[in-house]
Structure 1
């Protein structure tokens, strides 16, 4: 119930629109009731073969209610869909605003396909919170009141019987079918999430699945999930059919009760047979309002499940919270790292343990070490994806936790080994770094990064994850972004990893040329052209074990010298 109330609270800004749509929905069903009552009156009166003038009221009523039902139905659909789209827009913006501060730290434990389902499908399913959960009970309640007044005008006893039948259709039947369907909507949602995860893994890992002969296994898991989902959907359809049947029985009960209670009135002359026929048809039409109620109850379960999945994410406390009054980014860009310590959640081994080093303004420092030494963790802490458990990082003498994280990231250009390119054009991928950049600036950045041949291909599609470009081109595109960003601090996080020797050599020349005058922190395990750095800091198991210039470290014949000899075939 708490989740449902939170979800309903998100629709509060649209309460008046929702009420208006519910009222128009009530007017639509009311027009249907009037249409059937007027039709019954017209047919039964016409059977007595009166003068044509005596039928004019009925003919006018049929025309009025027939036309008004169509017009009001259109207005109801227009307003309800407009309200639903407004609510969905608010939900998507609300969720994005809530989840953006959580990335990447708090989202690292979620699989991408699962996150995609939450962002797209779970939010999409919440459109039911208005259209199929909140609105139908309001409309049904108003119709119940209307029929109490209409039937009660002629017979209070008949109105009581109709009320009892409508309470059965509006409360007992939905509660019964909801009990029978308990867990169905939740199970369907869970299986859909499982299918999405399997499908994404299968598509993205198709090459590996083919190599190891596991395509059939994944396909079988997809078939099993689909079979289970179909079974639950059949169960839901059967329960929905049961609800319609029970609602029909309740309607028949109301008709029988009206005939039982009002026939003596016809016999006594208190009311005419024509009136009885009109009341019966009106009551039958009123039960249209109760058909959506089972869906309303069942959708509550699906909406609560979707809400739980969304609130599970957004209720997480952000790892990094901007300061209330952030300081301006300092003009000096010397970096000081003091006694830095950090352990990833779920791990008992520190990624960094008491790490200290400094980079003077305009200087070049390399952080080296074997895989798992904690090098890339420094990058994550530098751009405040995480907060250190101990110690601090300062730029220009100012602790970075006093800076706005967004301002900090705008002033630190990161070129990593995992350059992500969106499935858009080359131009759009470049404009991420400088949204206001002109075509001339884009071409200049491509030229400086060694991608002059792409100058005429700005509007070419880069491919999903940049697959239309080679690995070297993707890395150079990251350098082009760095040039466009024009940040005073540059972090090169394994920027030349996985490249062939010639491409690596050319890329290093490009980086040397484009980073002149900037403060550079290079993180690498590949000890190539290390003499270009003012200082080399050696990490091992999260600790600084050596530091000094390339020549000094070679002469000391320690861990670094051993790594260098091993990589250069002298070990």
Structure 2
């Protein structure tokens, strides 16, 4: 219960809907029991009254008939609004949970989340949170209502027969406490296994769909499908076990209810013989005893899935209780020199057991300067962006942005100081305009068309490029078009620092020249740090930095480096 307690407290956010759902459930269940109880008395009393003409003439059919109709109406209307209310409360709680969980994920940042697969996080966000609907809809509400209804019915029965009330109370304890407890024990292992099996199946299905092209090319479809089949077999076995447990508990519930009804009938017959009860009251008590088990009938199934619910809550808490590696201050300093960047003796690695990615790295960039950073794969180029974006913290050294320590900025201020094109480019299903407005929600159509022209995309997307649908993850665009879409989005953001990671990857030489030339000529005044393997247009940058194993091995103006016959820059040009 400890792992579920935080989620129980969250029900307080929608306590009005929660309380209304409990109240309507109580009214509906009492109406159902009242309907069957009153009907039992009414039918029996009517039959006895009809034995004699005088009895039939004196019998009041109207009042109990109105009561039966009233209970029926309350039961029908109450059930309708109870379902609407409890499900509305459940959906609101689940929506709140998803927002809460996503906010916790966002706070952890890439440094903490890189150890989790995206499919696993998606399963926790969807499957595990969906499993928590069992907590309110099938556990809390039915348990509270069953307890209240059981107590009221036992008190009602005790007014006519203490013995019948005692038998009913014992039967309710068996059906409402012992049987759910047994179902919870029986379903403990299967429930947890079922949750993990659903997660494994969805992960494999997602991998199968996302990797379909490569699987087709390399002949890996059959093994991937077989893995999906094996995961499905595991899930089906757990579902079969849970279904068998449910069938057994349903049979036990029927047996207990039937036994309580028979015991009430036997005790009631003796009370009729002793003239403590009239015959019509006997039928009333028996029907009441049978009806009250509707209150406890849902409990075994709900508690059978208790372990699944607890496991889902545990998987969520496992993520949300982690501490973020990057913490932003509540109050921010003001940038003094927008566009200035200073790396001072930075040492950084992604894991303590891994080699240094940047080792005693120092670099100073002036506002408005345009730098081209060169180096082979693994030389530490992309790590510079990760540090500037504060996705990671350096192990030692200091990093200043706009004349202030980067740790002194709150997150909104830090994000406003830079625009980043990372690898790979992430596009979202929707139009070109939808993707561009992520950079600037207030951007006009003219501004977006202008930036598309700068990256040579305006003529490739039809007559109305802003409304062109890019597809899931940009699937309707080529690799070069996706890269240029990401670049256009980065250029659109009005930030003083522009960080571009391989912006011309996948472009032909002509398009690359057009894009880089337009970027350098139309976006003057902004500091530019461009990471690239390509040397075309390199002479148009103010300075070139060459990295190797996390260290600056060469830097200078393009003409200065070209003048050195043995410079690494000239060696790269000769390749």
TM-fit CA distance, 1:481 = 1.6
> What SS class does the counterpart of residue 188 from structure 2 fall into?
coil
TM-fit CA distance, 1:324 = 2.7
TM-fit CA distance, 1:103 = 2.8
1:51 to 52, 56, 62: 56
> What SS class does the counterpart of residue 397 from structure 2 fall into?
strand
Which stretch shows the higher mean deviation, 551-560 or 183-192? Answer: 551-560
Per the alignment, residue 556 of structure 2 pairs with 548
TM-fit CA distance, 1:85 = 2.2
Contact 1:132 / 1:299 at 8 angstroms: preserved in 2?
no
Contact 1:450 / 1:510 at 8 angstroms: preserved in 2?
no
Partners of 1:388 and 1:64 in 2: CA distance: 73
Question: Is 1:23 the equivalent of 2:29?
Answer: no
> What SS class does the counterpart of residue 322 from structure 1 fall into?
coil
Which stretch shows the higher mean deviation, 400-409 or 263-272? Answer: 400-409
Encode CA deviations 1:171-214: one digit per residue, 9 max, x unaligned. Answer: 11111121111221211111111111111111111111112211
The 5-angstrom pairing of residues 370-409 of structure 1 reads 370-409=376-415
Question: Is 1:533 the equivalent of 2:541?
Answer: yes
Partners of 1:84 and 1:73 in 2: CA distance: 16
> What SS class does the counterpart of residue 364 from structure 2 fall into?
strand
Contact 1:342 / 1:389 at 8 angstroms: preserved in 2?
yes
Partners of 1:342 and 1:404 in 2: CA distance: 22
Partners of 2:455 and 2:547 in 1: CA distance: 30
Distance 1:185 1:377, change over 3 A: same
1:258 to 254, 259, 264: 264
Gaps in structure 1 of 5+ consecutive residues: 567-571
Partners of 1:515 and 1:319 in 2: CA distance: 34
The 5-angstrom pairing of residues 20-419 of structure 1 reads 20-48=20-48, 49=50, 50-51=55-56, 53-345=59-351, 347-419=353-425
Per the alignment, residue 525 of structure 2 pairs with 517
Partners of 1:380 and 1:373 in 2: CA distance: 14
Partners of 2:497 and 2:284 in 1: CA distance: 82
TM-fit CA distance, 1:367 = 2.0
TM-fit CA distance, 1:346 = 6.3
Partners of 1:211 and 1:4 in 2: CA distance: 46
Distance 1:322 1:89, change over 3 A: same
Partners of 1:295 and 1:330 in 2: CA distance: 63
Contact 2:191 / 2:306 at 8 angstroms: preserved in 1?
no
Partners of 2:161 and 2:503 in 1: CA distance: 85
Contact 1:384 / 1:405 at 8 angstroms: preserved in 2?
no
Partners of 1:547 and 1:446 in 2: CA distance: 32
Contact 2:455 / 2:514 at 8 angstroms: preserved in 1?
no
Partners of 1:347 and 1:432 in 2: CA distance: 37
Over 6 Å off, 4+ runs: none
Per the alignment, residue 507 of structure 2 pairs with 499
Contact 1:243 / 1:294 at 8 angstroms: preserved in 2?
yes
Encode CA deviations 1:515-552: one digit per residue, 9 max, x unaligned. Answer: 32211111123333322222222222222222223344
TM-fit CA distance, 1:271 = 0.5
Contact 2:188 / 2:308 at 8 angstroms: preserved in 1?
no
Per the alignment, residue 4 of structure 1 pairs with 4
TM-fit CA distance, 1:296 = 2.2
TM-fit CA distance, 1:358 = 1.1
Encode CA deviations 1:461-487: one digit per residue, 9 max, x unaligned. Answer: 111121212223222222322332121
> What SS class does the counterpart of residue 244 from structure 2 fall into?
helix
TM-score by length of 2: 0.94
2:488 to 480, 505, 523: 480
Contact 1:343 / 1:349 at 8 angstroms: preserved in 2?
yes
Task: Report how many aligned residue pairs link the two structures.
Answer: 566
Gaps in structure 2 of 5+ consecutive residues: none
Encode CA deviations 1:264-308: one digit per residue, 9 max, x unaligned. Answer: 110011111210111101110110111111222133222221112
1:469 to 477, 490, 508: 477
Per the alignment, residue 14 of structure 1 pairs with 14
Encode CA deviations 1:321-359: one digit per residue, 9 max, x unaligned. Answer: 111321123344221111112111364212111110111
Distance 1:197 1:103, change over 3 A: same
2:435 to 429, 439, 443: 429
Contact 2:153 / 2:292 at 8 angstroms: preserved in 1?
yes
Per the alignment, residue 569 of structure 1 pairs with none
- Aligned CA RMSD, in angstroms, stands at 1.8
Contact 2:337 / 2:403 at 8 angstroms: preserved in 1?
no
Distance 1:118 1:514, change over 3 A: farther
> What SS class does the counterpart of residue 339 from structure 2 fall into?
coil
Contact 2:484 / 2:503 at 8 angstroms: preserved in 1?
no
Per the alignment, residue 564 of structure 1 pairs with 573
> What SS class does the counterpart of residue 358 from structure 1 fall into?
strand
